[in-house]
């Protein structure tokens, strides 16, 4: 009688096999048991179809990948103060369930990414679209050409529409024009820059920013973003961004001490600009970690640079805010779902 017991497993890269060492014990009625070591060579596990370079290199994506990139940015900005304000956080009077607010949030990200795939630049890094950056062309969040190609997202809640169209868009438009002046349509507007939670801590945000900075410097263009997290400002400063102004959303001038409840705190955004640096070498992967708060209209903190997707726009906006940059969308933007 023989008993086969597997005792260890090893890999042989030279022969692309897996070696399994087993012990066979032989016994008979009147003889002592004896053991023999047997080596069984099995085929090595198949190599993954996911390109290895995706984990380390920034790449541009096309419209076929907009939903994957949009979902990644939605995850990156899920806790962002501005994103929550726009869809209406629970208890703030905007109404709707968590599922409805999440659907609206994802639809907005899908719409922005799709529009920038048609007219702008969307870059990502990571095997699962872990980080991303989105940038539109021609100084607007979504230009006329993209509007003809991409259906706007599903209708938002009434309060969300007011916050977006009556409050956010005019504020961002006027502020950018005031700060950039004649360069308003000639800068790199980083709309969304974010990394989803599972992709943080790998340097994806740094690579996305550096990749875009090299291009901006080569074209002698400034870079513009709105940071919705103060903790991210120091991180962006390492790449040459400087705070030009702070703006606020959600300021309730009607509140008085006699009111029974306090209004939600205003959402603060820091406007940051990086001037072109054609004669300077780009930093070799900034080692500082992103803060763990949400943030920028370009959310690039450890929690928000979640995946590694970056959408930028020449003279458009980093609402990636970076992964969280919520920018100019036409008034139909929240009317339908991206198909």
- We report the CATH number of the domain holding residue 74 as 3.40.630.30
Digit-coded pLDDT (tens) for 205-218: 999 999 999 999 99
Q: Which of 18-27, 104-113, 176-185, 296-305 has the lowest mean pLDDT?
A: 296-305
What CA–CA distance (Å, rounded) separates 304 from 281? 27
Is residue 90 in some structural domain?
yes
Question: What is the model's pTM?
Answer: 0.70
Q: How many domains does the chain have?
A: 2
3-state SS of 156-221 is: CCHHHHHHHHHHHHHHHHHHHHHHHHHHCCCCEEEEEEEECHHHCCCCHHHHHHHHHHHHHHHCCC
Segment 139-174, tens digit of pLDDT: 666 666 555 566 555 456 777 778 887 888 889 989
Distance from the first to the final alpha carbon of the chain: 66
Within-domain flag for 331: no
Q: Are both 77 and 150 inside the same structural domain? A: yes
Whether residues 28 and 98 fall in one domain: no
Taking residues 14-22, report their average pLDDT: 53
Whether 161 is covered by a domain: the verdict is yes
Supply the range of the domain harboring residue 129. Answer: 57-249+266-314
- 225 domain residue, yes or no: yes
Judgement on whether residues 131 and 162 belong to the same structural domain of the protein: yes
* 324 within a domain of the structure (yes/no): no
Which range among 35-44, 239-248, 295-304 has the greatest average pLDDT?
A: 239-248
Same domain, 26 and 160: no
pLDDT band, residue 99 (cuts 50/70/90)? confident
Q: What would the mean pLDDT of 288-293 be, rounded to a whole number?
A: 48
Same domain? For 272 and 219 the reply is yes
How would you label 174-210 residue by residue, b for 16+ Cβ within 10 Å and e otherwise?
A: ebbeebbeeebbebbbbbbbbbbbebbebbbbbbbbb
Indicate the range of 20-24, 147-151, 220-224 predicted with least confidence: 20-24
Residues 154 and 24 in one domain: no
10 and 129 part of one domain: no
* Residue 257: inside a domain: no
332 in a structural domain: no
Judgement on whether residues 201 and 83 belong to the same structural domain of the protein:
yes
Task: Based on the fold, state whether residues 125 and 174 are members of the same structural domain.
Answer: yes
Residue 181 covered by a domain: yes
Average pLDDT over residues 3-17: 48
Which of 37-41, 98-102, 132-136, 263-267 is least confident?
A: 37-41
What are 219's two structure tokens? 């074209």
């Amino acid at each position: 009688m023989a008993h086969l017991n597997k005792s260890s497993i090893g890999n042989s890269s030279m022969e692309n096999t897996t070696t399994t060492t087993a012990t066979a014990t032989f016994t008979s009625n009147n003889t002592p048991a004896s053991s023999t070591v047997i080596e069984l060579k099995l085929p090595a596990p198949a190599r993954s179809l996911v390109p290895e370079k995706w984990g380390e290199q920034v790449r541009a994506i096309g419209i076929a990948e907009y939903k994957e990139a949009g979902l990644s940015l939605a995850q990156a900005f899920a806790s962002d103060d501005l994103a929550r304000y726009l869809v209406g956080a629970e208890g703030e009077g905007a109404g709707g369930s968590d599922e409805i607010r999440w659907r609206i949030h994802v639809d907005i990200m899908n719409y922005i990414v799709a529009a920038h795939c048609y007219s702008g630049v969307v870059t990502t890094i990571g095997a699962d679209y872990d980080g991303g950056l989105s940038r539109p062309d021609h100084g607007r969040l979504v230009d006329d050409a993209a509007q003809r190609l991409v259906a706007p997202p599903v209708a938002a809640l009434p309060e969300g529409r007011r916050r977006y169209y009556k409050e956010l868009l005019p504020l961002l438009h006027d502020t950018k024009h005031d700060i950039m002046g004649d360069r308003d349509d000639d800068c790199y507007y980083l709309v969304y820059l974010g990394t989803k939670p599972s992709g943080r801590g790998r340097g994806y945000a740094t690579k996305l920013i550096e990749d875009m900075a090299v291009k901006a410097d080569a074209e002698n263009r400034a870079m513009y973003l709105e940071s919705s997290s103060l903790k991210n400002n120091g991180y962006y400063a390492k790449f040459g961004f400087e705070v030009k102004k702070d703006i606020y959303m959600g300021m309730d001038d009607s509140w008085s001490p006699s009111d029974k409840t306090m209004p939600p705190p205003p959402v603060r955004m820091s406007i940051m600009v990086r001037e072109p640096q054609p004669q300077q070498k780009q930093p070799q992967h900034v080692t500082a970690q992103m803060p763990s708060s949400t943030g920028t209209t370009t959310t690039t903190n450890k929690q928000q640079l979640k995946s590694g997707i970056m959408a930028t726009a020449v003279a458009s906006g980093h609402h990636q805010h970076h992964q969280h940059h919520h920018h100019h969308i036409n008034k139909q933007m929240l009317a339908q779902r991206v198909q």
